Amino acid sequence: MSPTATMIFLSLQIIISFLFTATASSSPPGGFTIDVINRRSTSNSSSSSRFSKTDDGELGSPYANTVFTTSEYLMKLQIGTPPVEIEALIDTGSDIVWTQCLPCLSCYDQQAPIFDPSKSSTYKEKPCNEDPNNPCRYETHYADQSYSKGTFATETVTFQSTTGQPFVMPETTIGCGHNNSLASAPAASGIIGLARGDSSLITQMGQNFYSFFSYCFSRKETSKLNFGSNAVVSGDGTVSTTMFTRTEKPIFYYLNLDAISVGENRVETLGTPFYSLEGNIIIDSGTTYTYLPDSFCNKVKDAVDSVVKVAREPFSGDMFCYKTADTEIFPVITMHFSGGADLVLDKYNMYDNTGDSYCLAISCVGPTEDAIFGNRAQNNWLIGYDTSSELVSFKSTDCAALY
């Protein structure tokens, strides 16, 4: 579906019922890589049992193909024994790994077959309060009215590997959803949560993988999602900014946005309620557009409107749309994050073609809603998360040509 303000997936998660026992790993340092393809072109296990290894005893370099649907990036991975492939939304804004499961009380139509846990020899429901007869249930809701309700379980998660052998994560906690709705990516099998929470995929990989991950989203061809030692972003042109955690919403990766430049006009957050020294915007791979609070957003829109000499579309809702096919008339937008991380964005990042018009890929939200730095603005940036030093790094990159 075409991305619009009402269709964008805003991944703000509320866990109503949740029980999780974290599974740590003492695996040696390593990393793995996941290919990203744009469709348009619980036990305390030891390192020897937690992950599969190659014949020489070293961790391999796993990867998984992912696909791009109109506004979201999906990761392909396998769950169960024998392995069954699923396609799930890559989401740094939530912390549960869930997929639709049979039997379905109410499931939406997904592209891949729905996972049948009765056919997997490694599926095991997680009990609540150590009572084997009381499976732990979960219910998670998202701001676009998407939701998943089901049972927590442990299951084997498998990635392909560059060694030719599978990379296996046994006893990984997943949500087996029996009642689900997913508005933003209806072809997806579920969601892969990559946020800070105990149940997220990267947390369950253990410290060696959890400390570093990076991705480079392409608008056309193959790009990468990396974990562990492969995920360090460095070199000429790399800029970094501090990540923040808020106690009221501890799973999110917050950044400080100091200003947005529209051409030569720098619009400061200072002097608006949006200004902060402790994080004011969430970086989120599961949201398409960028969302800003009204107090600041309207100033940015006015700055764009003062430059564009074409009449705006009269009925474009909360979007700023112009009837033109010429992107040259639009000003360059630069996002200024704290610490000197200035991201000069491409026209594609900030202006969305909607047929015979272009719309500003920024929407305004109310003062009680979170600001979001979405995946369209992140396109063609190599972005690395280092949770050990609380930094996120950016490097302008042709993601399709990088690999």
What is the token pair recorded at 361? 């890929």
Beta strands 131-135 and 239-242, pairing class: unpaired
- Residue 327, both tokens: 């992107």
Residues designated catalytic:
91, 284
Cα–Cα distance between 167 and 159 in angstroms, integer? 5
With 0-12 / 13-18 / 19 or more C-beta atoms within 10 angstroms meaning exposed / middle / buried, residue 98 is buried
* DSSP codes of every residue in 205-217: T-HHHHTEEEEE-
Torsion-angle region of residue 164: left (phi > 0), alpha (psi -120 to 50) or beta? left
Give the number of residues written for the chain.
403
In this structure, what token pair is assigned to residue 302? Answer: 């006015």
For 129, left (φ over 0), alpha (ψ -120 to 50), or beta? left
Three state DSSP letters for 26-88? CCCCCEEEEEEECCCCCCCCCHHHHCCCCCCCCCCCEECCEEEECCEEEEEEEECCCCEEEEE
Rounded CA gap, 33 and 47, in Å?
19
Task: Name the residue type at position 398.
Answer: D
- Give the separation between CA 309 and CA 316, rounded to whole angstroms: 17
- Supply 217's token pair: 């989203």
- Whole-angstrom distance, CA of residue 174 vs CA of residue 99: 8
The enclosing H or E element of 379 equals none
Assess whether the previous peptide bond of 103 is cis (omega < 30° from 0). Answer: yes
